[in-house]
Amino acid sequence: MAEPLKIALAGLGTVGVGVIRLVEANAQLIARRAGRPIQITVVSARDRNKARGVDLSPYAWEDDMVILGERTDVDVVVEMVGGSDGPALALARTTIEAGKALVTANKAMIAHHGLELAAKAEDKHVALKFEAAVAGGIPVIKGLREGAAANEIERVYGILNGTCNFILSTMEDTGRDFADVLAEAQARGFAEADPAFDVEGTDAAHKLSILAAIAFGSKIDFGAVDTAGITRLRAADIAQAAALGYVIRLIGMAETDGVDGNRTLFQRVQPHLVPVDHPLAHVDGATNAVVAEGNFSGRLLFQGAGAGDGPTASAVVADLIDIARGEVSHAFSMPVGELEALGPAETGHRQSRAYVRFMVADRPGVLAEITAALRDAGVSIESLIQKGRSGDAVMVAMVTHEGPESAVRKALSLLEGSDSLTEPPLVLQILGD
C-alpha cells in the first residue's frame, strides 16, 4: 500500500476530536477506500492540558498552529479553529503557500476569503476542500460540484442552520415563545451562549453564499445576502401559520435572474411560511436540508445532520479520502478566473405571497388605516385575522395574494411613523413550489 497521507489537525473542539475518533475507529476501512492510510501526525489547540476524552499521546503537539502548514511531516492541514480571520486565515494561507492541501469546516473564512484561497490553491496545484463548512455531514457540496455537474442549477434553497430549526420546530410543537425555547437550546448545547450568529441568520448566510457560488458558477458575494433572523417571531406567528396550513422555517434561497451576459444573483436568508406538504416542512430539530433544482435532474433533496462531531467529522474525512486518492479539483467547480461576478438582483419585481403581521394599538380605526395603506399600494388581501390582546397591543395578521414584493414595501412605507403601530411590522414570504 502507498505511503500514508500525513495530517495536521488544528483545533480540538467537538469536531476536531470527532475527526480523531473517526480516523482511529475506521482506520482500515478508510485506508482501503483511500488507497493509502490516513494518519494524524501532529495536532494543535489553544490549551494543551485540557481533557478532551481522547488520547493525544500518539501525536506531536505544535503550540503555534500556523507552523503546521510548514512542517515537513505534514501533507494536509485540517483547520477546525473557526473565525473568518485571525489564526485560521493565517494558517490557511501558510498551508497553501507551502504547497500543502487544506481541509476546513470554516464557513465564515470560506465566505469571506474563499476566492483568494481557491486562487492560491490553483496556483500551487493543491486541493482546497470544505465539504464540512455547509450542512455538516450532508454531502451537498460534492452533490452540486460532482453529481449535478452537468446541470444548470436554477435554484438552491434550504434549511441551513440547525439551531434555528430546533428553535422553530420546538416552538411549533410546544406553543412556547422564542426566548423560552432559545434558553432550552442553550441548555442542551444546540445554541451558543451568544446565539446571535445563528439566530440573526449570519451562519446561514455564510453557507448560502458558498452554495450559490458552486451552484451558479459565480463569485462569492456574502455581503449581498439579504439576511433576517428569527428573533422577532412569536408563538402566535407559529400558531397562525399552522392554522393556515404552513410551518415557519428559516430558509436560505439563491437563484439567478436574467440571461447569460446580463445575470444577477438573488440571495436571501429569511423565515418563510412553508406549505405542510413541502419536503422542507418535515425537517425538524437540528436537521439541515438543501434543495437544488437542475434543468435536467429536477429537484434534488439533500437532508441529514447539519452539525455535531460525528456528521461533521464524516465530511472532513471524506475530503481527506479524496485528497489521498489524488483528487485536486477546483474548489468552486471551475477555475476562479471563470467564475462570474454577478451583481445583486433587484427584488421589487419578485412575485410572491406574503404573511404580514402588525402589532397595533387597541383602538377604533386602526384596521381601516392598515387596509387603506395596503389598498393604496396595490396589495390584495387573501385572508385577515385579528387576535386578542398581547399586553397593550393587538395582533393583526394577514396573507396577501400573489403580487410584487415592492407593493408590500410601499404599503409599509405608507404606515411608517404611524402611532397605531406598537412595533415594526413583520413580513414573511410564503415558499412557492
Domain 351-430 in CATH 1.20.1250.20: no
pLDDT for 265-324, tens place per residue? Answer: 999 999 999 999 999 999 998 899 999 999 999 999 999 987 778 889 999 999 999 999
The SS3 assignment for 236 reads: helix
pLDDT at 309: 84
CB neighbours of 97 closer than 8 A, spacing ≥ 6? 69, 120, 124
50 is catalytic: no
End-to-end CA distance of the chain: 50
Averaged over 236-262, what is the pLDDT? Answer: 90
Question: Please, are residues 167 and 198 in contact by the beta-carbon 8 Å criterion?
Answer: no
Residues 395-424 pLDDT 10s: 999 999 999 999 999 999 999 999 999 999
CATH assignment of 141-305, given 3.40.50.620, 3.40.50.150, 3.90.1520.10, 3.30.360.10?
A: 3.30.360.10
This prediction's pTM: 0.94
State which of 232-246, 305-319, 383-397 shows the largest mean pLDDT: 232-246
Backbone angles phi, psi at 77, to 5 degrees: -105, 130
Residue 433 has pLDDT above 70, yes or no: no
User: Which listed residue (107, 120, 142, 207) is catalytic?
Assistant: 207
Render pLDDT for 164-181 as a digit per residue (tens, 0 to 9).
Answer: 999 999 999 999 999 999
Domain range 5-133, its CATH number among 2.60.120.10, 3.20.20.70, 3.40.50.720, 3.30.70.20: 3.40.50.720
Q: How far is CA 21 from the centre of its chain?
A: 26
Structure confidence at residue 187 (pLDDT): 87
Domain coordinates in residue numbering, the chain: 5-133, 141-305, 351-430
Give the chain's mean pLDDT: 93
- Answer for the pair 356, 425: CB distance below 8 angstroms, yes or no: yes
- pLDDT value for 61: 96
pLDDT given for residue 193 in this prediction: 81
pLDDT at 389: 67
For residue 130, pLDDT beyond 90: yes
Question: Would you mind telling me the total number of residues written for the chain in this entry?
Answer: 433
C-alpha cell at 194: 451568544
